[in-house]
Structures are given as structure tokens and as C-alpha cells.
Amino acid sequence: MKNFVALALLFLVSATSAADGTLLERALTCELPDEAVGSLLVTLGAEHTGFERPVARYALPTIDIYELEEPVTAHGYASRQVAVSPGRILLVVPIDSIATVARDLNLKEVPFSGARRPVRPSVTIVALQLSHKIIADKILVGCEYAFRSAAEWFQLVEQ
């Protein structure tokens, strides 16, 4: 009986630890509940000083880069930089090859679109490489939320 109780407690602690990832970690790993997608940037701005304002803003494609005080971990990578574009939240990792990330995360490379793997309807793990100055030699790894509310993230933040 003692073994059963110990095993049950171990399982409970393990399950709680996995579910206890921060909101940012859950967003980056595509574990964000659908109802939390629309308010993500507003909530992150209130929770993290690094999300108060981006350190860099780019157009074509539109992307904001945020610098956090502490590194965040997602998909086995860690970084202090997070990139946000309409519908995407991505960790900026110092890796020079999408092929490496695609192999590590079992993503399918798509010409001119990086690499991707659907997680559930309207939610996809993505890896991208962009040519914007501050992130040109890095890979962006995270989640794409194909929700109208995620496409409007910048409108909500600027209001």
C-alpha cells in the first residue's frame, strides 16, 4: 500500500510540474488554451517586464522582438529573446539551421515557409528564419495560432 501511495504522489507531482509551465512557455509550446490566445500579449505585458515594449520592431513581415530578464525554455531551447508577429509567438534561438530544428522537433520543412507540424486544428509548431538585423543569424521556434484574435495581437497592445 505504501508503494502505491508513493507512486500516486510521484505521478501527481510530475503531472502538476508539467502543467505548471508559465503562460509564456505554454504559449511558445502550443499548449495555450484557445480562450487565452486573444489576451496573450496584454497578459504577458502585465506579467513580464520584458514585454512592456519591444527592443526592435520590423515590418515585412511584421515582427516585434522582446528581451526578457531571464531565459525562457521551450521545445528544448532556451533564450532571453522572444519574437511576436500576428498569430505567432517564437523563441529566438542561436541555431543556424532550420534543418536541425526540424529534425529535433519532427517538423516538416516547407519551401519558403520554414518548418512546421500541426498540433491541433488552427495551432502549429513552427520554425522560421528571417533576415531582420537582430535575428538574421538565428532560428525562431514556437507556435502559430491561426485565430482571428491572435492575428489582432498588435491592435490590442497599441490601444
In one-letter notation, the amino acid at residue 52 is E
Q: Residue 76's domain spans which residues?
A: 22-158
Domain count, the chain: 1
Residue 1, pLDDT score: 43
Work out the pLDDT band at 137, boundaries 50, 70, 90: confident
pLDDT confidence of residue 96:
77
Q: Model's pTM, two decimal places?
A: 0.81
Does any domain span residue 1? no
Judge whether 35 lies within some domain. Answer: yes
Q: Could you tell me if residue 82 is inside a domain?
A: yes
Residue 2 lies in a domain: no
In 3-state terms, what secondary structure has residue 11? helix
Looking at the domain assignment, is residue 14 inside a domain? no
Within-domain flag for 6: no
Q: Does a structural domain hold residue 129?
A: yes
Alpha-carbon distance of 119 to 146, in angstroms, equals: 12
Inside any domain, residue 11: no
DSSP state of 107: P
